[in-house]
Amino acid sequence: PVAATLLRSARERAGLSQRELARRAGTAQSVVSRIEGGLTDPSTGTLLALLEAGGRNRPRSRGQQESGY
């Protein structure tokens, strides 16, 4: 699953354990484990929170300028 691959690679690039990523995102380590293991698909909000907690910025939508306007 795409979410599993995206989350695992972002977490590993940030040098974080599943436990630390979960702590930063305000969720349980088991949630991170289930997502990375492909056992569950996260909601958009959960995935964004986890990616941001790992130091990855929210992707900009098409047409959105660098300044966010």
Per residue in 14-65, pLDDT tens? Answer: 999 999 999 999 999 999 999 999 999 999 999 999 999 988 755 554 554 4
User: Residue-wise over 8-32: b if at least 16 C-beta within 10 A, else e?
Assistant: bebbeeeebebebbbebbebeeebb
Cβ(34)–Cβ(40) below 8 Å: yes
Cβ(50)–Cβ(21) below 8 Å: yes
